Amino acid sequence: MSALTIFADNNATTPEFHSTEADAIREKLNAKAVRFERWQADRDLGSNPDAQTVIKAYQHAIDRLVAEKGYQSWDVISMRADNPQKEELRKKFLNEHTHGEDEVRFFVEGAGLFCLHLDGKVYQILCEKNDLISVPAGTPHWFDMGSAPHFTAIRIFDNQEGWVAHFTGDDIAQAYPRLA
């Protein structure tokens, strides 16, 4: 179940807000210019769809976002618990960083935890199947895929280079709850 938990950025133990209601999540995030939507496939994906099938099933929603925001490219990424680089990748993503472009992710299956550091708060957004999140360019954040990752996501980019991180050097992410 998708969820939003908000903490003060100096108190990782006591949440100030928590909700699993999509409308409440959207309202809180939209107030910070963070896009949160729920998408539905326009066809059955089957049990183990390839990247092309996934893109085709959501092309209608991707096209709408591209027309609105001018994004240039998209792809599909999958991460599983048996990936030999999972620990290295998790460690990298758990460091607070920014991007020169929006970070747009749509979860086709599985889950991931986006943590945004905004205006003295930490917004932890548990994204699951059918959730789209767009973290605005320049927003300090980190991502936790868990110790046994399992997700497939569509990534949408402003530029052809794709994911380029600028690490802040702040160790704030180490203090906050993580996925199991």
Would you say the pTM of this structure is higher than 0.85? yes
> What pLDDT, on a 0 to 100 scale, did the predictor assign at position 160?
66
Q: Selecting from 2.60.120.10, 3.90.180.10, 3.40.50.720, 3.40.30.10, what CATH number does the domain 3-175 have?
A: 2.60.120.10
> What pLDDT, on a 0 to 100 scale, did the predictor assign at position 162?
60
pLDDT digits (tens, 9 = 90+) for 73-120: 999 999 999 999 999 999 989 999 999 999 999 999 999 999 999 999
Query: For the chain, which residues score pLDDT lower than 70?
Result: 160-163
Residue 179 corresponds to which tokens in the numbers above? Answer: 């996925």
Contact between 145 and 87 under an 8 Å Cβ cutoff? The reply is no
Task: From 69, 80, 74, select the one nearest 55 (Cα to Cα).
Answer: 74
Distance in angstroms (rounded) separating the CA atoms of residues 8 and 164: 27
- Residue 45 exposure: Cα atoms within 13 Å on the Cβ side: 20
> What pLDDT, on a 0 to 100 scale, did the predictor assign at position 46?
81
> What pLDDT, on a 0 to 100 scale, did the predictor assign at position 136?
96
Ranges of each domain in the chain: 3-175
Alpha carbon 22 to its chain's center: 15
Residue 140 corresponds to which tokens in the numbers above? Answer: 């300090």
> What pLDDT, on a 0 to 100 scale, did the predictor assign at position 159?
75
